[in-house]
Each structure stands twice: as C-alpha cells, then as structure tokens.
Amino acid sequence: MRFNLPEARKEFGRLSRERYRLEQEVVSGLSRKKLIAGTPVEKYKACNKGNCKCTRGELHGPAYYVSRKEGGKTKMIFIRRKLWPKVEEKVKRYQRWRVIRAQVVRMNSEMLALIDRMEKAVTVKPGEKKK
C-alpha cells in the first residue's frame, strides 16, 4: 500500500492543532493557580476503646491526607479539615494537569512517527529514481 502524503499532512495539521490546544491548557494550569502533587485521601479510623461507637462500626473521621511518593516511599501528609476543600481542589487540578501533560507527550510521539513516515515517503537514495 502506498503512503498517502496529502492525508499525512492533514493528519499532521490536526495533531498540531490539538497539541496547541493542550499546550495552552498546560500553560494556563501552571500560570494561574498553585498545584499540589499527590492523591487526596479521606481516612476513617477505629480507636477500639471499650464503649466507643467505632467498636460498633461507626468509625471516627474523616481525617484528610495527601498521599505522595517521596524517595520511593509513600508519605501521608495530614491536612486540617478547614483547609481540605482548597487542598483537594489543588490536588485534583494537579492530577488533571498530569493527564494533559501525558496527552501532549503521546501526541508528540504520534507526530514524530508521522514525520518519520513522511520523510521515508519522499526520500530517495542517491542514484535511485522516485516512483
């Protein structure tokens, strides 16, 4: 099957426009508001004291944490209840930013592969005639 250069150019343009849109999201995500790396966690605990409600299944909590990897180990950072809504928003914004970043990386790989195929389609070896 022959390589369709005009279609490849259209596809490259489409990928380029999509990547530009994603790049704008990445830049705006970094410039406007702060991000917090990690995962939001709500934990419920049992104290297991004799007549406590937690011995009957009603656990204490929630306690709020941000879980993150540091030096290959998981670290749980306690967050005060009154700060939780803002912290959770910043963590979720960070997670969204990471998804967009991964899409840009994937798109760059697709574009590079397409460029390689386009180059191969139009390149001839010295002394060889193009079909």
3-state secondary structure 22-47: HHHHHHHHHHCCCCCCCEEEEEEECC
- Residue 23 included in any domain: yes
- Residue 22 in contact with residue 100, Cβ under 8 Å? yes
The count of structural domains within the chain is 1
35-71: pLDDT as tens digits: 889 999 999 998 878 888 888 888 999 999 999 999 9
Ranges of residues in the chain whose predicted pLDDT is under 70: 1, 31-32, 130-131
Going along the chain, which residue ranges are E strands? 39-45, 60-70, 73-79
pTM exceeds 0.75 for this model: no
- Residue 128 included in any domain: no
Domain residues for the domain of 14 are 5-122
- Cα 9 to Cα 87: distance, rounded to the nearest angstrom: 44
